[in-house]
Amino acid sequence: MNIYLICLVRDATFDASEIVGTLEAAGHNVHFPPRDVNQNDPIGLDICNAHLKAMRMADEVCIVWDKNSKGSHFDLGMAFALERPVRLIKVVQPDIDGKSYLKVICALQKRSVS
């Protein structure tokens, strides 16, 4: 299975490498943004295009959710627009009251397994 991993890249407070290793040991191909895309893009458009290409090839999107990651918000929007099934792997901070992207992720995950 081709998996796209949404995770914090810049100033990461959680290292998702172990999750990637576990998924790859299980035989999956994992798109891991900090490893698989050159982050030295002065504008960011090349990074966005590379992630879009990988997201289009993904059978599933796994998420290490960090609400402070703007890139993760962008990637979640791509997963939503491309109607990819999602699976929440880890939450870095607790959720807030009211509306939140974490609640959206949980609803999408529930819809993915239905």
Check if the beta carbon of residue 102 is closer than 8 Å to that of residue 69: no
Element (H, E) at 63: strand 60-65
- Tens digits of per-residue pLDDT, 52-86? 999 999 999 999 999 999 999 999 999 999 999 99
Q: Higher pLDDT residue, 48 or 94?
A: 48
Q: 């397994």: which residue's tokens?
A: 113
Parent domain of 26: 2-113
What is the pLDDT at residue 113? 73
pTM value > 0.95: no
Half-sphere exposure of 38 (CA within 13 A, CB side): 6
3-class SS at 78?
helix
Count: domains in the chain = 1
Q: Taking 70 as the threshold, does the pLDDT of residue 104 lie above it?
A: yes
CA atoms of 52 and 18, how far apart (whole Å):
24
The CATH number of the domain holding residue 42 is 3.40.50.10140
Per cent of the chain over pLDDT 90 is: 79
Residue 12 has pLDDT above 90, yes or no: no
